[in-house]
Amino acid sequence: MAQHIVLDRVSKRFPPARRGGDEIVAVDDVSLAIEQGEIFGIIGYSGAGKSTLVRLINQLEPVSAGRITIGDVPISELRGKRLREQQTGIGMIFQRFNLLSSRTVAGNVAYPLEVVGMGRAERRRRVEELLEFVGLAGRADAYPEQLSGGQQQRVGIARALAASPQVLLADEATSALDPETTAEVLDLLARINRELGVTIVVITHEMEVITRIADRVAVMEAGRVVETGSTYDVFTRPQTATARRFVQTVVRALPEGDELQQLRAQHEGRLFTISFTDAGASEARVFGALARAGIDFNLVHGGVDDIQGRVYGLLTIAVRGDAATVDAALAQVGAGVTVEEQR
Ligand SMILES: Nc1ncnc2c1ncn2[C@@H]1O[C@H](COP(=O)(O)OP(=O)(O)OP(=O)(O)O)[C@@H](O)[C@H]1O
C-alpha cells in the first residue's frame, strides 16, 4: 500500500507554562507512516501528545521541527491560502461534536461548503446526499440539541465529509457516547473507510475502538511513539509496558501475583496456560487431548478474544491426574497452540 501521511522526525514544543519553567515537549521526534486507505489508531495516556500529533497532521498547529507530508504535499511547509486549500482535504471529528447550536443539521453540514463558495443548489444536493449517507435523511431541519449524542456525532461526520476529504481525523470521537451508539459510529467510520477509501486516524483511550476498527496502532508515551504494529500484533504481543497495560484492559492477560495465588488455592492440580492465535488452532485440541487420555481438568481463567475479527485465546486450566500421563497428553497437542505450565 502507498504511504499517505508521513511524519518525519516531527516535534512540537510549547513555551513553558510559567516564566522560568520548562518548555513543554508535547510531541518528541516522531516518525510515522500511515498508509493510504487504512484506519490507524493512536493510543496513550492523557498528556502523551495524541491530540497535539493530530493537530499537527492538519496543521492547526505548526511543527517545531520535522516535516509532514500528505500524499505528495509537504503540508507542514505550506502557509496561507495554499495551506487552507490542503486543510479542506482533511476532515476532523471531535469528542464534543463541536456543532453550531444556532444552525440546523443541514446548516451545520453546509457550513464548510459555504466557506469554499459552493453554490446554493449544489450545496443543497450535497447536504442531502451526506445526510442520507450518515442515516439522518429525515433530520435536516432539526437543531443539534434535539438530537441524541450519536446523531450529533453523525452530523459532525457528515460535516467532516462535506468537502470529500481523503483523510479523516477522529479525536476521541466516541468517548462521550454510550457503548451501543459507539458501535454505530464505529460502523459508520468503517463504512466511510471501505466505501469512500478515506484514510482515518483515530485517537482514543477506548481499546474497544482500536480492536474493532483499527488496522494498525501506535502507542504514545511522553510525546514519543514507543510501539507501532498491526492491531492484532500489538494486542497479542505487546512489546512495551505501556502497550501491555492498555492491551490488558480488553485482552485477557495471564493471571499473575495475587490472582495466581488465589487460583492455586481454589483449584487442585497443575495450572497450564493455553495460548493460540488465529492460524486455525483452538483450545479444543488441548481439551480433546486431555479428554482422550481420561484426564480431569477445568477452565479457571481467561477466554477467547476477538481482535479485528481475528481470534486470540489465552486461557488457564487446572489439570488433575498422574503427572506423566498429563505431560504425555499435552505433548500431543501439536503446532499452533502453546501450552505452558504456570509454576
Ligand atoms: N496549546 C498548548 N500549550 C501548551 N501546552 C500544551 C498545548 N497543547 C498541549 N499541551 C501540552 O502538551 C502535552 C500533550 O498534550 P496532548 O493534549 O497532546 O495529549 P493527549 O495525549 O492528547 O492527552 P489528552 O488525552 O488528555 O488530550 C501535555 O503536557 C499538554 O499539557
Question: Which value does ipTM take for this structure?
Answer: 0.92
166 and 275 in a single domain? The answer is no
The number of distinct structural domains making up the chain is 2
Q: What is the pLDDT of residue 280?
A: 65
CA of 273 to the centre of ligand 1 (A): 40
Helix (H) / strand (E) containing 201: strand 199-203
Angstrom distance (rounded) from CA 240 to CA 219: 9
Looking at the CA of residue 61, tell me the nearest atom of ligand 1: 1
Q: Which of 11, 22, 23, 24 to mutate to test the pocket of ligand 1 (most atoms within 8 A of CB)?
A: 24
Q: What is the pLDDT of residue 181?
A: 92
Alpha carbon 270 to its chain centroid, in Å, reads 37
Signed CA dihedral, 317, 319, 323, 325: sign only: negative
CA of 171 to the centre of ligand 1 (A): 13
Q: Does residue 101 line the site of ligand 1, with CB under 6 A?
A: no
pLDDT band at 336 (very low <50, low <70, confident <90, very high): confident
pTM of the model: 0.86
* Residue 202, in any domain of the structure: yes
CA of 24 to the centre of ligand 1 (A): 9
**Strand, coil or helix: what is 264?**
helix
Looking at the CA of residue 14, tell me the nearest atom of ligand 1: 4
Ranges of H-type helices in the chain? 50-57, 80-87, 105-115, 120-133, 149-161, 179-196, 207-213, 231-236, 241-247, 257-266, 283-292, 323-331
> Of 247, 266, 295, which residue sits at a domain end?
247
Residue 87: HSE in the Cβ half-sphere, 13 Å Cα cutoff: 21
Q: Does residue 204 line the site of ligand 1, with CB under 6 A?
A: no
Looking at the CA of residue 12, tell me the nearest atom of ligand 1: 12
CA-nearest residue, atom 1 of ligand 1: 14
CA of 49 to the centre of ligand 1 (A): 6
> Of 194, 215, 247, which residue sits at a domain end?
247
98 and 58 in a single domain? The answer is yes
Q: Does residue 302 line the site of ligand 1, with CB under 6 A?
A: no
Q: Does residue 266 line the site of ligand 1, with CB under 6 A?
A: no
**Strand, coil or helix: what is 288?**
helix
Q: List the grid coordinates of 148.
A: 441524541
Kindly state the average pLDDT of the residues 27-32: 97
> Of 247, 272, 289, which residue sits at a domain end?
247
Mean of the per-residue pLDDT values for the chain? Answer: 91
* Residue 39, in any domain of the structure: yes
332 and 234 in a single domain? The answer is no
pLDDT tens track for 246-281: 887 777 777 878 888 888 889 888 999 888 887 666
CATH number of the domain at 202, please. Answer: 3.40.50.300
Least confident of 65-69, 84-88, 312-316: 312-316
CA of 76 to the centre of ligand 1 (A): 19
* Residue 283, in any domain of the structure: yes
CATH number of the domain at 295, please. Answer: 3.30.70.260
182 and 318 in a single domain? The answer is no
**Strand, coil or helix: what is 305?**
strand
Signed CA dihedral, 196, 162, 54, 177: sign only: negative
CA-nearest residue, atom 13 of ligand 1: 26
pLDDT tens track for 227-252: 999 999 999 889 999 998 888 777 77
Looking at the CA of residue 55, tell me the nearest atom of ligand 1: 18
242 and 268 in a single domain? The answer is no
239 and 274 in a single domain? The answer is no
96 and 190 in a single domain? The answer is yes
* Residue 74, in any domain of the structure: yes
pLDDT tens track for 275-307: 888 766 677 878 888 888 888 898 888 888 888
138 and 174 in a single domain? The answer is yes
pLDDT band at 99 (very low <50, low <70, confident <90, very high): very high
Q: Does residue 51 line the site of ligand 1, with CB under 6 A?
A: yes
Q: Does residue 54 line the site of ligand 1, with CB under 6 A?
A: no
Cβ atoms of residues 275 and 313 within 8 Å: yes
35 and 153 in a single domain? The answer is yes
Q: Does residue 14 line the site of ligand 1, with CB under 6 A?
A: yes
26 and 126 in a single domain? The answer is yes
Q: Does residue 50 line the site of ligand 1, with CB under 6 A?
A: yes
89 and 228 in a single domain? The answer is yes
**Domain containing 209: what range?**
3-247
CA of 57 to the centre of ligand 1 (A): 15
54 and 195 in a single domain? The answer is yes
Q: Does residue 49 line the site of ligand 1, with CB under 6 A?
A: yes
Q: What is the pLDDT of residue 279?
A: 65
Angstrom distance (rounded) from CA 155 to CA 132: 11
* Residue 252, in any domain of the structure: no
Q: What is the pLDDT of residue 98?
A: 92
Kindly state the average pLDDT of the residues 103-119: 94
Percent of the chain with pLDDT over 70: 99
DSSP one-letter code for 147: S
* Residue 217, in any domain of the structure: yes
Angstrom distance (rounded) from CA 95 to CA 148: 14
Question: Which of 174, 182, 308 lies closest to 233 in space, CA to CA?
Answer: 308
* Residue 23, in any domain of the structure: yes
